[in-house]
Structure 1
Amino acid sequence: MVLKNLKMTFKRATSGVEVTRLYPEKIMDLPDAERGVHVLEIRKCIGCGACARICPNDCIKLVAYSRGNPVKNKKLQYPQIDYGRCMFCGLCVDDCPASCLIMSKQFEISGWNREDIIYDPEDIAVGLYSDQELAELAEEARKAEEEKKRKAAEAAKAKKEKAAKAADEGDKGSGEKAAKKKKAE
C-alpha cells in the first residue's frame, strides 16, 4: 500500500501537472465575478449613505473626508469599510444609486491589529482630486451657496412685498366697503 502511494506521488511530481498553487509567487487569474476589496470612485459619490443602510453586517459607516467633491457631496461624508465584519455580499454595490462603489479583484487583506483592516475613504478611493481641483470645487460650492442665499433673500423680499400689497388693497377694499355702507344708509 505504501509503495502504491509513493508511485502516485512520483508520477504526479514528474508529469508536470500542477497540483498545488505557488500562491505568493504566482497569483492565479480570478473570475470576473470576484468580490474583493471595494473601490470608491470619489468623483461620483454623493454621500447618500445607501451603502451603509443596506449592509447586513453594519460594517460600512460614513465618515468625514475632506478631499471629496463639495458640490455633489455637501456633507463630505464617504464610506469607511471594516473588512473584519464584511462578508463581501455585494449588496452595497448593488444599492449604490451613483454606481460609485464597486468591488475589485484585490483579495489580500491583512494586518497586525483590527484597525489595520478598517479601510478609510482614502484607502479605497480612486480618482482623487488634486489640490487645485479641490480649491476650484470649494470656490464653486461657495458661489452656489451664495447664490442660494441670494435667491432665498429675494424670494422672502418678494413675499413680503406681496403681503404688504395685499394688506394695502385690503385696507382700500375695506374703506370702499365702509363708504358703500354709509351711502346705503
Structure 2
Amino acid sequence: MVLKALKMTLKRSISGVEVTRLYPEKIMDLPDAERGIHVLEIRKCIGCGACARICPNGCIEMVEYKRGNPVKNKRLQYPKIDYGRCMFCGLCVDDCPPDCLHMSKTFEIAGWDRDDIIYGTEDIGVGMYTDQELSELAEEARKAEEEKKRKAAEAAKAKKAKAAKAEAGEAASSEKPAKKAE
C-alpha cells in the first residue's frame, strides 16, 4: 500500500502533471461569467442609485465624489461598495440603466481592517477625468445653469407681460359697457 502511494507520487512528480494549483504565482483562467470586484465607468454613471436600491444586502451606498461629471450626474453621487457584505449576486449590474457598473474577473479582496474591504468610487472607478476635463465640465455646468436661469427669467417676464396685457384687456372691456349704459 505504501509502495503504491510512493509510486503514484513519483509518477506525478516526473510526468509534469499539475497536481495542486500554484495560486499566487500562477492564476488560473477564469470563465467569462466570473463575478469579481465591481468596475464603475465614471464617464457613464448618472448617479441614479438603482444599484444601491436593488442590492439585497445593502452593501452599496451612494456617496459624493467631487471628480465626477457635473453635467451628467448633477448630485455627484457614485457607489461605494462594502465587500464584507456583498454576496456577488450581480443584481446591481443587471439593474444599472446606463450600463456603467460591471463585474471584473479580479477576485482578490483582502485587508487588515474592515475598512480595507470597503471600496470607494476611486477604487472601483475607471475612466477618471483629468483636472483639465473637470474644469471644462464645471464651466459647461455653470453655463448650463446660467442658461437655465436666463430662460426662467425670460419665462417669468413673458408671463408677467401676458398677465398685464390680460388685465389691460379686462379693464378695457369693463369700460365699454359703462359707456353704453350712459
Range class of TM-score, shorter chain: over 0.9
- Structure 1 Cα separation of the partners of residues 123 and 133 of structure 2: 20
Task: For residues 9-66 of structure 1, give each alpha carbon's deviation from its aligned partner in whole angstroms, at most 9, with x where no partner exists.
Answer: 3333333211110000111111111111111110111111011011111000110111
Does residue 84 of the first structure (1) align with residue 84 of the second (2)?
yes
Count of matched residue positions in the alignment of Structure 1 and Structure 2: 182
Q: Report the equivalent of 2:9.
A: 9
> Which residue of the partner structure matches residue 48 of structure 1?
48
CA distance in 2 between partners of 1:171 and 1:20 (Å): 96
Match of 2:172 in 1: 172
Which residue number in structure 1 is paired with residue 74 of structure 2? Answer: 74
In the alignment, the residues of structure 2 paired with residue 144 and residue 109 of structure 1 have an alpha-carbon distance, to the nearest angstrom, of: 41
- After superposition, the CA RMSD in angstroms is 1.2
- Aligned residue type for 1:55: C
| Runs of at least 5 residues in structure 2 that lack an aligned partner in the other structure | none
Distance 1:48 1:156 in 2: 31
Instruction: Give, in angstroms, the shift of residue 176 of structure 1.
Output: 1.6
Who is 1:110 aligned against? 110
What percentage of aligned pairs have identical amino acids?
79
For residue 149 of structure 2, what is the aligned residue in structure 1?
Answer: 149
Q: Is the partner of 1:110 in helix, strand or coil?
A: coil
Q: Counterpart of 2:37?
A: 37
Q: Provide the TM-score with structure 1 as the length reference.
A: 0.94
Q: What secondary structure, in the 3-state scheme, does the structure 2 residue paired with 1:79 have?
A: strand
In structure 1, runs of 5+ residues without a counterpart are none
> Which AA in structure 1 matches 2:129?
Y
Q: TM-score, normalised by structure 2?
A: 0.95
Residue 165 of structure 1 aligns with an amino acid whose one-letter code is K
The amino acid that maps onto 1:128 is: M
